[in-house]
Amino acid sequence: MTKMRTIELNSAELNRPCAIDLFSGCGGLTLGLKQAGFRVLSAVEIDSAAVRTYEANHKDVIVKHLDIRDLSPDKLRSQLGLRRGQLDLLAGCPPCQGFSTLRTRNGANRNHDPRNGLIHEMLRFAAAFRPKAIMMENVPRLAQHKPFRDFCEGLRQLGYQFEYEIKDAARYGVPQRRQRLILLASRNIDLQFAAEVPRTRTVRDAIGQMPEPGKGDDCLHNIPERRAKKVLQLIRAIPKDGGSRGDLPRRRQLDCHKNSNGFSDVYGRMAWDAVSPTITSGCSNPSKGRFLHPEQDRAITMREAALLQGFPQHYVFDLAAGKEAIALMIGNALPPEFIRRHALEIRRALLQSKPRRS
């Protein structure tokens, strides 16, 4: 059950292009849209911890805390005081776990995750709002599945032209290697993807100035970690600045690693002068990927993970949710800088466009 809040806006805010964020999570997409000059009117999210985090950082946005399948887009449009066609941008990232390579063992298994159908909810909202532009972001493998093809056909039937590409967030100012599918659609404006940046941001750029955990007043950075003695000995043995468990002699490796040829990044260190690996929901656990600090004998902290994802250091996360829930929020978030750059191009096109005669 959600209650409608009234947000008072000044004239400058009213003149900014407006957007709605579907499947908002903890607010990465919303933050990127705001940084690009959009006014985010409303967000929809089902997870309670993500909603608390979102509301702590975006008090000016009306959040619908429910299953999006239970929300009437026509009712929301009426509550927001929008006519059909008046919304500038409908943006969202439907849950993508059902299409990820990790969930399907690099495509070897079929995945029947019930969340796979949630992409159709974006189409339902597009039909009700008829926004001027649509931006949808997801994992690259989504393009190989029928729900995506159905979504594209639905956009065509609504009169939208669209284009999608696979982009690496590291080429857009995010200090992280992250391949993502991004789709842009519109009915009467020419949308362009943002240009790549000439220089990538590195792990050092993002977290090089962070104090050791426990030596500052950032509660997110200071969440403690506990490791078994054997695991801690392994971590201490991993070479600094990009080292891997594969660098160790066989006798120093864990038994579970000796006969495994896959997931070579686990218990690996990040390298200072490279981008980080993809920040996933397992970013707090070195057994889930290359999530060890470049120098210190520990996994990256939740604040460091958030910084590598592109959140500012003042971004608030719901500490009461616990470390695993925070890692899930951060790993599932959209990098704000990646969104900002593409949203700037959408905003530019919206401001320059003139209605076409039908």
Same domain, 104 and 232: no
3-state secondary structure of 181: strand
* 4 within a domain of the structure (yes/no): no
pLDDT for residue 15? 74
Residue 12's pLDDT is: 54
Q: Are residues 248 and 103 in the same domain?
A: no
Q: Are residues 184 and 225 in the same domain?
A: no
Q: What's the one-letter identity of residue 301?
A: T
For the stretch 191-206, pLDDT in tens is 999 999 999 999 999 9
Residue 96 a catalytic site member: yes
Integer-rounded Cα radius of gyration of the chain: 21
152 plus 213 within the same structural domain: no
The reply to whether 119 and 129 lie within a common domain is: yes
DSSP-derived pairing of the beta strands 18-22 and 89-92:
parallel
Q: Where are the alpha helices (DSSP H) in 36-143?
A: 48-57, 73-79, 119-129
Q: From 187, 230, 206, select the one nearest 300 (Cα to Cα).
A: 206
155-164 per-position pLDDT tens digit: 999 999 999 9
The torsion defined by the Cα of 50, 173, 271 and 286, in degrees rounded to 10, comes to 10
Least confident residue range of 15-19, 44-48, 303-307: 15-19
Of 18, 26, 93, 96, which one is the catalytic site residue?
96
Q: What is the pLDDT of residues 98-121, one digit of tens each?
A: 555 544 444 545 545 555 689 999
CA distance 49 to 26: 8
Q: What is the pLDDT of residues 265-293, one digit of tens each?
A: 788 999 999 999 999 999 999 999 999 99
> CATH no. for residue 347?
3.40.50.150
Check whether residue 195 and residue 228 sit in a common domain: no
96 and 40 part of one domain: yes
Q: Model pTM?
A: 0.88
Residue 177 included in any domain: yes
CA max distance for the chain: 73
Helices within the chain (DSSP H only): 11-14, 28-35, 48-57, 73-79, 119-129, 146-157, 203-207, 229-237, 255-258, 302-309, 323-332, 336-352
* pLDDT tens-digit readout, 82-99: 999 999 999 999 996 555
Residue 89, C-beta contacts closer than 8 angstroms, at least 6 positions apart: 17, 18, 19, 20, 33, 38, 131, 132, 133, 134, 135, 343, 346, 350
CATH of the domain at 262: 3.90.120.10
Q: Is residue 358 part of a domain?
A: no
Query: Do 188 and 221 belong together in one domain?
Result: no
Q: Which two tokens stand for residue 33?
A: 């849209």
The per-residue pLDDT of the chain, averaged, comes to 89
User: How far is it, in rounded angstroms, from Cα 76 to Cα 72?
Assistant: 6
Percent of the chain at pLDDT > 70 equals 84
At residue 3 the predicted structure's pLDDT band, cuts being 50, 70 and 90, is: very low
Does residue 276 fall inside a structural domain? yes
**Domain identity same for 151 and 76:** yes
C-alpha 266/C-alpha 227 separation (Å) is: 15
Cα–Cα nearest to 130, from 84, 163, 91: 84
| Residue 99 covered by a domain | yes
DSSP 333: S
- Return the closest-CA partner of residue 191 out of 182, 200, 202, 201: 182
The total of structural domains in the chain comes to 2
Give the domain extent around 175.
11-200+334-352
DSSP state of 253: S
pLDDT band at 6 (very low <50, low <70, confident <90, very high): very low
Do 38 and 186 have their domain in common?
A: yes
**Do 196 and 291 reside in the same domain of the chain?**
no
Residue at 89 is within a domain: yes
Is there a domain that residue 5 lies in?
no
Same domain, 310 and 241: yes
Give domain status of residue 289, yes or no. Answer: yes
